[in-house]
A and B are shown apart, each in its own frame.
Chain A
Amino acid sequence: MDNIIINIENLSKKYYLNKNNAIIPFLCSFKKSNGLEIRALENISLKIKEGESIGIIGDNGAGKTTLLKLISEITRPNSGKIELFGSVASFFDIAFSFHPDLSGLDNVYFMANLMGFSKSQIKPIIKNLVDFSEIGNRINTQVKFYSHGMKIKLAFSIVAFVDSDILLFDEISFLGEDIKFRQKINKRLQELKDKKTILLVSHYLEDIKMLCSRTLWIDSGEIKMQGETVSIINKYIKKILSN
């Protein structure tokens, strides 16, 4: 599989933190708010082939999450472009996007709806999804009564069944669950790894070693280096330990 599925050229993203957050001071000052400019990503260029599993590591604030948000169109770049040749599904701590007053089932339907799947696409897989989550009858209980583990399992079940060419994962640990569930996730991930293109942002370096053949090290908005996973991770660890 040598087709490029994601082509990123000269991508840049800035965030602006405004000081004036209240209307009366703004009306009184009449000058443009002097905010802080944060350069999240600077001139990133990257080509990802279909079927690759890429790890993305780096310090906090390096721009890793920003990169995933740009690819999933949650936010727009300031300059540059991203070319996609497949559908994208992204997972940013999805367990925290559940609404506590709705049942697990309602949340799953709603999340899938948000991700662009129609009811007719969700309905046939809902039973398998709920079985996978091991939540059982509690699927009809409000999420506010779920334990943290239950929420994560439910979130993972959505991940496991979403059919999309490109999968983006942000700070999701695959190894943090009980053994039985972990095995299920691992099996599913290996299946996904063969067919899908995966980008994984994580501080859990073991997850990256397990899943990704190639890794990017992002530092201060730029790709510091990229290459074979174990080698990049070792260099990264070396730098952290030397600080």
Chain B
Amino acid sequence: MLHKIITNKKQSIFQNLKKLFANKSLILAFVKRDLKIQFAQTYLGILWLVFQPLLAVTVYTLFFNNFIKLDTGNIPYPVFVFSGILFWQYFLYAVANSSTSLISNQNIISKIAFPKLIVVISKPIVGLLSFIINLLILTALLFFYKIIPTIYLLSLPIFILLIYFTGLSFGIWLNSLTLKFRDLQHLMPTIIGYAIWITPVFYSVAIIPPKMFFIVYLNPVAGIIEWFRWTLFGGEIPSLNYLYGIAFIIIFFILGLIYFNRIEHEIADKV
């Protein structure tokens, strides 16, 4: 016999995470739905996912390889920059899109009870589609420039996991804070856009003066890109100091989950 008691008591994070794992099919349903909506809304659909990164690599190559020559060692610039674009664009997508997941799903959140975290975690999963397309483009570039990656490229799944959790952590925080401060949804994409300057996407990290390196070390996306580049092109092993960025993300993620859990019961009221 079903027996449930509803009170003002908040559920612990572990209970909530357990509920989340029990709802795997719902997570899949959200991902499928978001993908369908994305392609229904854009006429170009999948073509846009290819066009966008190609446009980025063209512009960066033009400016930072032709007009100004930034040194990338003996790695051809287009491949170098694309290896950064791969992760940077995913991060941008995850942050820009998931910061308003709760608000944009207001009409179901206020009417049906379900674990709200699902709404936040599904968007970065949807972003993985364009990531995979970018990966294919990268493969084509590697082929074109006749670059054979090192065996360490097999650790790619770890990088994918890391960038997913990086995007997800920001998504969780932004969703929680945007609930209270609506202007964040307009401010954040702009602010995050500037973060490209502390991420070695279109430049080699060697141009950063040593005193400023700590900023780059704290940037998890920088660490992911640098180590990924090493698995592709070999050469000098990147500094272990990048692990500070990874540690930052782990702490950021856990704190995000805790805060989200604290405000979860208010989401339907405030969304």
> What residues on B are CB-neighbors of A86 within 8 Å?
2
Complex Cα distance, B8 from A79, in Å, reads 6
> Are A21 and B183 in contact, with the CB atoms below 8 A?
yes
> Are A115 and B112 in contact, with the CB atoms below 8 A?
yes
> Are B2 and A87 in contact, with the CB atoms below 8 A?
yes
A75's nearest neighbour on chain B, judged by CB, is B268
> Are A101 and B41 in contact, with the CB atoms below 8 A?
yes
**B36 adjacent to chain A (CB < 8 Å):** yes
> In the complex, how many residue pairs between chain A and chain B have their CB atoms under 8 Å apart?
108
Q: Is the interface of A mostly helix, strand, loop or mixed?
A: mixed
> What residues on A are CB-neighbors of B29 within 8 Å?
109-110, 113-114
> What residues on B are CB-neighbors of A78 within 8 Å?
8
> Are B181 and A97 in contact, with the CB atoms below 8 A?
no
**A73 adjacent to chain B (CB < 8 Å):** yes
Q: Range of interface residues on chain B?
A: 35 or more
Complex Cα distance, B107 from A118, in Å, reads 21
1/0 contact trace for B112-128 toward A, CB 8 Å? Answer: 11100000000000000
Q: How far is the CB of B43 from chain A (nearest CB, A)?
A: 13
Task: Pick from A88-96, A188-196, A206-214 the stretch touching chain B.
Answer: A88-96
> Are A81 and B7 in contact, with the CB atoms below 8 A?
yes
> Are A77 and B7 in contact, with the CB atoms below 8 A?
yes
> Are B2 and A96 in contact, with the CB atoms below 8 A?
no
> Are B40 and A101 in contact, with the CB atoms below 8 A?
yes
> What residues on A are CB-neighbors of B181 within 8 Å?
20-23, 26
**B262 adjacent to chain A (CB < 8 Å):** no
Complex Cα distance, B184 from A111, in Å, reads 30
> Are A73 and B5 in contact, with the CB atoms below 8 A?
no
**B236 adjacent to chain A (CB < 8 Å):** no
Complex Cα distance, B136 from A134, in Å, reads 45
> Are B2 and A114 in contact, with the CB atoms below 8 A?
no
**B237 adjacent to chain A (CB < 8 Å):** no
Which residues of B line the A interface, CB within 8 A? Answer: 1-8, 10, 25-26, 29, 33, 36-37, 40-41, 107-114, 177, 180-184, 187, 265, 268-269
Which residues of A line the B interface, CB within 8 A? Answer: 15-16, 18, 20-24, 26, 69-87, 90, 92-94, 96-97, 99, 101-102, 106, 109-111, 113-116, 118-119, 142, 165
Partner of A114, one of B3, B36, B112, B182: B112
Given contact pairs A23-B184, A74-B112, A75-B269, A110 touches B33 in the complex (Cβ within 8 A): yes
> What residues on B are CB-neighbors of A80 within 8 Å?
7-8
Complex Cα distance, B6 from A75, in Å, reads 10
Complex Cα distance, B181 from A82, in Å, reads 32
A18's nearest neighbour on chain B, judged by CB, is B180
> Are A22 and B269 in contact, with the CB atoms below 8 A?
no
Complex Cα distance, B25 from A86, in Å, reads 23
> What residues on B are CB-neighbors of A118 within 8 Å?
25
Given contact pairs A74-B112, A76-B8, A83-B4, A96 touches B107 in the complex (Cβ within 8 A): yes
> What residues on A are CB-neighbors of B25 within 8 Å?
113, 118-119
Complex Cα distance, B10 from A22, in Å, reads 27
Complex Cα distance, B2 from A72, in Å, reads 14
Q: How far is the CB of A205 from chain B (nearest CB, A)?
A: 24
> What residues on B are CB-neighbors of A110 within 8 Å?
29, 33
> What residues on A are CB-neighbors of B36 within 8 Å?
101-102, 106
Q: How far is the CB of A229 from chain B (nearest CB, A)?
A: 26
Partner of B113, one of A74, A84, A97, A119: A74
Complex Cα distance, B30 from A113, in Å, reads 9
Given contacts A84-B2, A96-B107, A102-B36, 15 further A-B contacts (CB under 8 A): A22-B183, A23-B177, A23-B181, A71-B6, A74-B112, A75-B265, A77-B7, A81-B6, A84-B3, A97-B107, A97-B108, A106-B33, A113-B26, A114-B29, A119-B25
